[in-house]
Chains A and B, each alone.
Chain A
Amino acid sequence: MSLMLEMSDKALARNIPLSVQVDLTYRCNERCVHCYLDHDDHGEMTTADIKHLLDEMAEAGVFILTFSGGEIFLRKDFFELLEHARNLTFCVKLKTNAILIREREAARLRELAVDSIQISIYSHRPEVHDAITLVPGSLKKSLTAIRFLKSQGLKVTMANVLMTANAQDYPGVQALAKEFGVEYTLDPTITPMMDGDRSILKLGVGQNALHQVFRDPSLVGDADAFCAIAAPPGEDTLNSIPCSAGHTACYVSPYGDVFPCVQFPLPTGNVRQQRFIDIWQYSDRMNEVRSIRLKDLTTCTSCTHVSSCTRCPGLAFMEGNMRGPSSQDCEKSFVRTGVPSANMLSKQRAAANLVQIRALPALATA
């Protein structure tokens, strides 16, 4: 077991929020077609609000702090907040499109000992990347920033969200990452808008592209092992937690709302009204999320994939039930193994019933 996993286990046992993502703003200088955020400013936390939150988070035992957005460099107080965070000895990670990072900013990030910077790159082709960000020249600017960051010796990851518009370009981004000497990560999940609007999900890749991804050893290692059907779950698995959301991790929005995760829009309290640690420890909603074990899931417990599925409780929540399945993950399990999930089979049965019901009026008029 790695030391980080060991510390996560200790944090879990002691109910300590080891890792928190704070979105500093939802404002952005890109307009990515698949983005789940409302970019208008509805009353962001002030500099003082955020510094106070960081003080409380340090006291609560938070170690890994991710600053994300929106575009974090649009906050004029960004470096003031970052410096405050580093004074509190957080391990700071950043998520950014990097458009606003020049030599001076890169040098300051090095000086403040930022742990790593994740930058969204959608394609190696400007016409594809820029058509997703809706900002001409954005790929060139992001890549220039990566050069500045690398010249400072900073750790950079290219994050490649996959959708139909760039489904065939990920090998190009992988090659780009190799050329730049940075890490690469791919995410084939499109997240519904935070207000529940699911229309952007249509941008997601289809099963053929997913199949290609899951069979690509450069992404998954041993493809046969990755795509194998998992053994039936033991008692330990059924008693395990679905993911770290609400257990050792949580998310704070630019407005101070605390959620179990950035993908889990269940409000549990607001740090402008309550102490962070009180929300973490005493929120009924946070404790409800925390109480769920795999054995408590309504449909998934009986599913073949229960022990290997990437089921996201937040996506399940957005479908209507935090204990229910996440259809996007059902589809991934199906594409990966060729075996439909319990949820998919249940929907097929329901659809068959609907066909029968629709046929009845026709019989009546015959």
Chain B
Amino acid sequence: MSRLYVARNPQAAARSLDGEMMIMSGRDSTLFTLNRTATILWQSADGTTPLDEIVTRKICPEFEVEAEVALRDAESLARELASHEIMHLSEAPIDISSKRNPLAGDTQ
């Protein structure tokens, strides 16, 4: 089974409001808020770390959940975020050398 890679879309605007991530789509200015799991996914979506690794390293230790279940949920979440064009999803590493959001998720 091929691995999935996720990357934040640099066209989106983003800020963490006291731990709750606000994302505005660069496509149509739709505003989204992400829950804790989705926020972790967003912050870890660097285009080079495979989704399963994000799940095992970042999500599973945070929540008491089986890796298989967590991966299924994370994949579904990633596909949803990708459908809103706030995240890129690919079966190959995503080159985001031109990404403009090095601080996304690291700021307050």
Residues in B whose Cβ lies below 8 Å from that of A11: 17
Residues in A whose Cβ lies below 8 Å from that of B12: 89, 113
Interface flags, A113-135, vs B, CB<8A=1, else 0: 10110000000000000000000
Interface membership of A312, Cβ < 8 A: no
- CB pair B16–A10 under 8 Å, yes or no, is no
Shortest Cβ distance from residue A59 to the other chain B in the assembled complex, whole angstroms:
6
- CB pair A87–B100 under 8 Å, yes or no, is yes
- CB pair B16–A61 under 8 Å, yes or no, is yes
- With contact pairs A3-B33, A113-B11, A116-B29 given, residues A63 and B103 touching in the complex (Cβ less than 8 Å): no
Residues in A whose Cβ lies below 8 Å from that of B103: 58, 87-89
Interface membership of B18, Cβ < 8 A: yes
Closest B residue to A14 by beta carbon equals B18
- CB pair A113–B10 under 8 Å, yes or no, is yes
Interface membership of A92, Cβ < 8 A: yes
Q: A51-93: which residues lie under 8 A (CB-CB) from chain B?
A: 58-63, 83, 86-92
Closest A residue to B28 by beta carbon equals A155
When chains A and B are docked, how far (Å) is the Cα of A112 from the Cα of B29? 14
- CB pair A91–B107 under 8 Å, yes or no, is no
Closest B residue to A61 by beta carbon equals B108
Tell me what chain B mostly uses at the interface: helix, strand, loop, or mixed. loop
- CB pair B18–A63 under 8 Å, yes or no, is no
- With contact pairs A3-B31, A10-B17 given, residues A115 and B24 touching in the complex (Cβ less than 8 Å): yes
Closest A residue to B102 by beta carbon equals A87
Most chain-A CB neighbours within 10 Å: which of B18, B22, B29? Answer: B22
Residues in A whose Cβ lies below 8 Å from that of B10: 86, 113
- CB pair B17–A115 under 8 Å, yes or no, is no
Interface membership of B101, Cβ < 8 A: yes
Interface membership of A355, Cβ < 8 A: no
- CB pair A83–B17 under 8 Å, yes or no, is no
Interface size for A (C-beta < 8 A) is 27
- CB pair B18–A89 under 8 Å, yes or no, is no
When chains A and B are docked, how far (Å) is the Cα of A60 from the Cα of B17? 10
Interface membership of A4, Cβ < 8 A: yes
Shortest Cβ distance from residue B89 to the other chain A in the assembled complex, whole angstroms:
19
- With contact pairs A58-B103, A86-B100, A88-B107 given, residues A7 and B17 touching in the complex (Cβ less than 8 Å): yes
Interface membership of A16, Cβ < 8 A: yes
- With contact pairs A3-B31, A7-B33, A113-B26 given, residues A63 and B108 touching in the complex (Cβ less than 8 Å): no
When chains A and B are docked, how far (Å) is the Cα of A92 from the Cα of B26? 11
Shortest Cβ distance from residue A54 to the other chain B in the assembled complex, whole angstroms:
11
- CB pair B18–A58 under 8 Å, yes or no, is no
Interface membership of B87, Cβ < 8 A: no
When chains A and B are docked, how far (Å) is the Cα of A49 from the Cα of B16? 24
Contact of A87 among B16, B22, B24, B101 (CB under 8 A): B101
When chains A and B are docked, how far (Å) is the Cα of A3 from the Cα of B25? 13
Residues in B whose Cβ lies below 8 Å from that of A10: 17-18, 20
When chains A and B are docked, how far (Å) is the Cα of A247 from the Cα of B100? 29
Interface flags, A189-230, vs B, CB<8A=1, else 0: 000000000000000000000000000000000000000000
When chains A and B are docked, how far (Å) is the Cα of A70 from the Cα of B89? 41
- CB pair B24–A91 under 8 Å, yes or no, is yes
Interface membership of B15, Cβ < 8 A: yes
What are 28 pairs between A and B in contact, CB < 8 Å? A3-B32, A7-B17, A14-B18, A16-B18, A58-B103, A58-B107, A58-B108, A60-B108, A61-B15, A61-B17, A61-B107, A62-B15, A63-B22, A63-B24, A87-B100, A87-B103, A88-B101, A88-B103, A88-B107, A89-B100, A89-B103, A89-B107, A90-B15, A92-B13, A113-B11, A113-B13, A113-B26, A116-B29
Binding site for A on B (CB under 8 A): 10-18, 20, 22, 24, 26, 29, 31-33, 100-104, 107-108
Binding site for B on A (CB under 8 A): 3-4, 7, 10-11, 14, 16, 18, 58-63, 83, 86-92, 112-113, 115-116, 155
With A61-B17, A86-B10, A90-B15 known, 15 other A-B pairs at CB within 8 A are A10-B17, A16-B18, A59-B107, A61-B15, A61-B107, A63-B15, A63-B22, A83-B100, A88-B101, A88-B103, A88-B107, A89-B101, A89-B103, A92-B13, A116-B29
